[in-house]
Amino acid sequence: MMARSSIFILGCSVALGAHAVADTIGNDGPATGSGRPNVVLVVADDLGWNDVGFHGAEIKTPRLDALARTSVVLNQFYVFPTCSPTRAALLTGRNPSRFGILGPLGLDPKTSLPLETVTLADCLNDAGYATGHVGKWHLGPTFDFGPRRQGFQSAYGYLHGQIDQFKHHYKTLDKSWFRDDEFIEEPGHATDLLANEAARFIEQHREQPFFLYLCFSVPHYPLQEYDVWIQPYEKTIEHKDRRLNAAAVTHMDDAIGRVLDTLDRTGVRKQTLVIFTSDNGGQKDWLATDYRGEHGPNERLGDNRPLRDWKGSVYEGGIRVPALVHWQGQLKPSVCNSVLCATDIFPTVAGLIGKPLGSELKPDGADIWAALTDEKARDDHPIYWNTGAQKAVRVGDWKLVESRRGGTTELFDLRTDPFETRDQAADQPDRVETLRQQLRQLLADDPRQ
């Protein structure tokens, strides 16, 4: 395999004028906070707004609830309507539509995250971090476009968008479970295997700064759980499919607890920034029977209440998710109401390690450390979404939604109407036009579809 640094320099020679990695992410400077933290970025798959205990759900998430009590809980954290776009945003700091990624990536390698893209893993590699991907990738269907080609020194998990939790193959029955650049077979539930690998990575790299990108496979379909996780909900959740979803979330919560315990046991918790999010809102149901009929259909899965709509939508239920940021001794427990986005993670981490992003990378996100520390609210930075079928922009309290189906344009004041029940487009044509122009400007750099 060609070294990532060589791939990076060759790939950027055209797009960035052959800048070296250090040039594109800025010069070394004083880090914000206390030293350069380890970074653990945890991503749940299809976890809805009302699927965690700290949002009042009936699902038990004791480890996440305890973590939330000692964290900055992000009350208005936005991702993208489906999985691949959010993962691209987290790793690049750019809107996924910049790469033509408007929805879940399929099996065509041509739609993968471009290899010349500068990722968060590249940035941390250059800063001397150990970088490890554990779990779902879904930014390229082959090893040629896998984690090890995007800056990760080690990689373990699965390539595709979903996985049989025990057999570890994709819905097409293609192999998907891998270590580094080889498919492997091993027994066990995916949630447990990913937690075990995350713990091993922390143990192995406890003596140096590290970046762990941990992406769970649940509560995405197909859901397969042991009775020990299902039984606690037999009397509290009536619908069997919702019970299964709850069991998967509680199982994941326990796995996250094991990772946190490893940080404590190795003595690195105080040196570790922990970020938790979901990749999109909850999935309403899954009515297909994939895997040759082995799984599904499921009539009721996630819960985004009281937000509107589901995964795949640019309404709040599809894009506003449970999220928190934890750094023991550095971040005070609080609720952050600033409007933040997945594209902000890369610039913020880069700033913390003293390597702020250069303009050559064209980040859509920004360093949000001030918002996390209550130094400065951040509510006016525009965020936009492009799924092809829908486009939306939020600036301040106002959100414009354009839907191709029916040709509708809607306007919502999220301060007074966070559940998007009152369309004000007809009453505020000037505001609609202003937001429409801002959306067009943001979309101008997206490739034509």
Rounded Cα distance between 161 and 149, Å, is: 18
Nearby residues of 291 by Cβ (< 8 Å), 6 or more positions away: 164, 171, 173, 222
Instruction: Write the DSSP string, 215-281.
Output: E---SSSSP---HHHHGGGTTT--SHHHHHHHHHHHHHHHHHHHHHHHHHHTT-GGGEEEEEEESSS
End-to-end Cα separation, the chain, in angstroms = 32
Nearest to 394 by CA among 370, 412, 378: 412
Strands 177-179 and 154-158, by their bridges, are antiparallel
Q: Which long-range contacts (CB under 8 A, 24 or more apart) does 405-413 make?
A: 409/436, 411/435
Torsion of CA 350, 353, 356, 361, to 10 degrees: -40
Residues contacting residue 22 through CB under 8 Å, at least 6 positions apart:
28, 126, 355
- Whose CA is closest to 194, among 127, 248, 142, 128? 248
CB 132 within 8 A of CB 155: yes
Q: What are phi and psi of 290, to 5 degrees?
A: -85, -175
On whether the CB atoms of residues 239 and 233 are closer than 8 A, the answer is no
* HSE (side-chain half, CA atoms, 13 Å) at 236: 11
| Core vs surface per residue 78-106: b (16+ CB within 10 A) or e | bbbbbbbbbbbbbbbbbbbbbbbbbbbbe
Backbone dihedral angles phi then psi of residue 428, each to the nearest 5 degrees: -135, 65
Per DSSP, what are the bridge partners of residue 211?
A: 39, 131
Contact 43, 275 (CB under 8 A): no
Burial 20-29 (b: 16+ CB within 10 A, else e): ebeebbbeee
Is 215 one of the catalytic residues? no
Report which of 375, 399, 377, 378 is spatially closest to residue 319, judged by C-alpha positions: 399
Catalytic residue among 133, 138, 168, 326: 138
Active site residue 133: no
Q: Which is the catalytic residue, given 83, 123, 215, 341?
A: 83
Give SS3 for 136.
strand
Which residues are known catalytic residues? 83, 138
